[in-house]
Amino acid sequence: MNKQLLNYETLLKVTNAISHSKDPEEVVLMTVESITRALKVKGCAVFLINRKTGDLEVAADYGLSDEYINKGPLSAAKSIAASLEDGPVAIYDVTDDPRIQYPEEAEKEGIASILSVPITAGGRIIGSLRVYTAEPWEFTLEDVNFVQAMGNITGMAIDMARHYRGLKQSIEVLKTLRDPRHLKSRRRTPYEGVPQSVQP
């Protein structure tokens, strides 16, 4: 089976999962595993931007050690920052590139090359999707397009899940407000809310 067909099958598998699941964690975990298997690379990870700290936080990973994942805070401004502003960034040699925040840890993990693409949701960048290879890798345009498509799908899945959760919470609030028991307890007395100075 050729690589292009595998990529289409992966896209189909993940989009199918999104249409059947309201859990973004499940979809994101499936995404990182599917990309790793489809491209036959070392690993893959999804990072989301923490707006308060400016750090990239791991939402899901596959094929990477806990030691590497927990190596330290990953700054959105220092760690392949261009991929969050300008689009996909491919790094051929992690040991000799200033855009890598933790080059020694990457080398120790056995990472040779990295592809980083932005994840967008609702028209804004919310994080990045990164692919890690064990051998130096010249990422092709096909590789980049495939990973970018998966990044876009991941962003849509997260956005849809957020909307679904918000809608579900809104429905629960409406149900509570319409509950006769709740309405009874909310019934006002004739003078409730009226200043004492104007009450008879």
Task: Please calculate the CA angle 13-18-81 and round it to the nearest 5 degrees.
Answer: 90
**Count of structural domains within the chain:** 1
In the sheet that holds 113-121, the strands lie side by side as 74-75, 55-62, 43-49, 124-133, 113-121, 89-91
pLDDT tens string 49-76: 998 999 999 999 999 999 999 999 999 9
Higher-confidence residue of 75 and 178: namely 75
Residue 182 belongs to some domain of the structure: no
Would you say 74 and 56 are in contact if contact means Cβ atoms under 8 Å apart? yes
Write down the pLDDT at residue 121: 86
In a domain, 184, yes or no: no
Range(s) of the domain holding residue 110 = 3-165
| Degrees to nearest 5, angle at CA 12 with 41 and 58 | 50
**Mean pLDDT taken over the chain:** 80
Which residues have CB under 8 Å from 53's CB, separation 6+? 73
> Cβ–Cβ contacts within 10 Å for residue 82, how many?
12
Residue 91 lies in a domain: yes
Q: Is the pLDDT of residue 191 over 80?
A: no
| Alpha-carbon gap, residue 13 to 7, rounded angstroms | 10
Q: Quick one: average pLDDT of 101-121?
A: 95
Q: Where are the beta strands (DSSP E) in the chain?
A: 43-49, 55-62, 74-75, 89-91, 113-121, 124-133
The per-residue pLDDT for 93 is 95
- Tell me the average pLDDT across 126-146: 93
Q: Is residue 178 part of a domain?
A: no
Residue 137's CATH number: 3.30.450.40
The answer to whether residue 172 sits within a structural domain is: no
Residue 188 lies in a domain: no
User: Quick check: 35 and 44 in contact, CB under 8 A?
Assistant: yes
Whether 76 and 125 have beta carbons less than 8 Å apart is answered as no
